[in-house]
Amino acid sequence: MCRQKALMIWVRELKLAIYTLLDTKAKYTNSKWKDDKLLWANIDNEEWKRIRRMINVIAQHKLWTEKLNRNIIDVISTTKKSDWEGILLKGKLPGTVESHYEPLDKNYIFHNSK
């Protein structure tokens, strides 16, 4: 979860999920804030709780709890950004066609944090 390449991807997706939350609730009084100053909005307690739940959705994703399948553990120890993009955003391990996990994208984060 904290490998640099994986972190770069899921943090970007978290940012997009937070933007989606705040934008749907019309929290941005300045349209430029959503691009550069994501948290420069009037965020109430319920929205902070939702953002915490988004972080929990990421932390509790099945990918991070994989401990039994040695083949999968070996594959996810990769450091290539393109491999992590496939794993996190498509749920596919490198060199495979089928999905092994739910994609950990902004939509998954947003919808599973309700």
pLDDT digits (tens, 9 = 90+) for 78-108: 667 888 898 899 988 887 888 888 999 999 9
Bridge partners of residue 92, in order along the sequence: 99
pLDDT at 67: 66
Which residue, chain included where needed, has tokens 């399948």? 69
Ranges of H-type helices in 1-114? 4-24, 33-36, 45-59, 70-76, 81-85, 106-111
pLDDT of residue 1: 57
> What pLDDT is recorded for position 16?
94
Task: Give the pLDDT score at 106.
Answer: 96
HSE at residue 5, side-chain half, CA atoms within 13 A, is 14
Q: Measure Cα distances from 87 to 6, 35, 104 in Å.
A: 9, 26, 8
pLDDT tens by residue, 10-68: 999 999 999 999 999 988 888 777 778 888 888 999 999 999 999 999 999 988 877 66
Token pair listed for 4: 């640099």
Helix axes 45-59, 4-24, angle to 10 degrees: 150
- Tell me, what's the pLDDT at 58? 95
Amino acid of residue 60:
Q
